[in-house]
Amino acid sequence: MGSGGLWQRQAAALTSDMASLDFWFDFASTYSYPAAMRVAPLACDAGVTVRFRPFLLGPIFKAQGWDNSPFNVYEAKGRYMWRDLERLCESQGLPFRKPDPFPQHSLLAARTALVAQDEGCGDDFCRAVFQAEFGEGKQINDPSVIESILRRLNRDPQALLARAQSNEIKNRLRADTEAAIRRGIFGAPTFIAPDGELFWGNDRLEQALAWAARKS
C-alpha cells in the first residue's frame, strides 16, 4: 500500500462515514502483540479505520475468579500458548521473547497510551510497547522503558508521564475498562464493529475487518 492511499483514507474517515472497528487490548495480553503489529496494513487494505482501545483485563479476570493470567492458572493451556505464539511470531516475521515475569504489569503503559493518543502518536506508542515487551523482553512497568519509547516518538517523556498519572487519565482508563465489560469483552484482543458485533482473538482480525467494511 502507498502512504498516499493511507492518508486519503484517514482523511476520509474524519469527514465521512468510513467503516471503523475498535481494537480492544491489554498490553499484557500475549495474542494482542501479533494483532497490534499486523492490524494497520490489513485495515488499510480493507478500507477500515481502526481505533486502538487499551483497557485492563485484570478486573475482568477477577470477576471470573482468576487473580492471575489464565495461562498461568491452567498449565497445559499456558504451555501450548507460548509455543503457539512462538510459531505465530515466526510466521509473521516478528521478534519474540517470552516476558519475564508474565504477565507484565500493564497499568502504566495503558495510561500513557491514552495520553499518547491525545498527542497524536497513540498507535505508534502501542506498537512500540508491544515490541519492547514481547520482542525485546523489556519491563513495561519500568518508567525508563516508557520514557525511552516516548523520546523516540519525539515527545516529552516527563510531561506525558506526569499526565498519565493525572486523575483525568486514571478515570478515563477506568471508564474504558467498564465500557469493555459492558460490551461483553472477556479477553483480548477483541474487535468490535459499530453495530456491536464482537470478534475475539487475533485469529478473527480478518473476519472483523470484513464485517466492518461490509456494514459501512
Using CB under 8 A as the binding rule, whether residue 203 contacts a second copy is answered as yes
Q: How many residues does the chain have?
A: 216
Chosen residue from 5, 95, 120, 184 binding a second copy by CB under 8 A:
184
Shortest approach of a second copy to residue 198 CB, angstroms? 6
Per CB under 8 A, which region of 16-24, 25-33, 79-87, 110-118 contacts a second copy? 79-87
Decide whether 130 or 200 has the Cβ nearer to a second copy: 200
Size of the site for a second copy (CB under 8 A): 20
Angstrom CA distances, 131 to 36, 61, 142, 201, 216, stand at 10, 24, 15, 19, 32
Mask for 84-113, x = binds a second copy (CB under 8 A): x--x--------------------------
Question: In the set 13, 186, 206, 216, which binds a second copy (CB under 8 A)?
Answer: 186
194 makes contact with a second copy (CB under 8 A): no
Output DSSP code: residue 18. -
H/E element, 49: strand 49-54
- Rounded Cα distance between 154 and 24, Å, is 26
List 200, 205, 209, 212, residue binding a second copy (CB under 8 A) = 200
Torsion angle of C-alpha atoms 46, 200, 30, 182, degrees rounded to 10 = 110
Residue 79 in contact with a second copy, rule: CB under 8 A: yes
Residue 67 C-alpha cell reads as 487473580
What's the distance, CA 121 to chain centroid?
14
Region binding a second copy by CB under 8 A among candidate stretches 24-32, 42-50, 82-90, 124-132: 82-90
The answer to whether 14 contacts a second copy (rule: CB under 8 A) is no
Closer by beta carbon to a second copy, 18 or else 73 = 73
Least separation in angstroms between residue 147's CB and a second copy is 36
Q: Cβ(106)–Cβ(133) under 8 Å?
A: no
Q: What's the min distance (Å) between Cβ of 203 and a second copy?
A: 5
C-alpha cell at 50: 481502526
Report the half-sphere exposure of 80 (CA within 13 A, side-chain side).
6
DSSP classification of residue 105: P
Bridge pairing between strands 49-54 and 20-25? parallel
Binding residues for a second copy (CB under 8 A): 64, 74, 76-77, 79-80, 83-84, 87, 184-187, 198-201, 203-204, 207
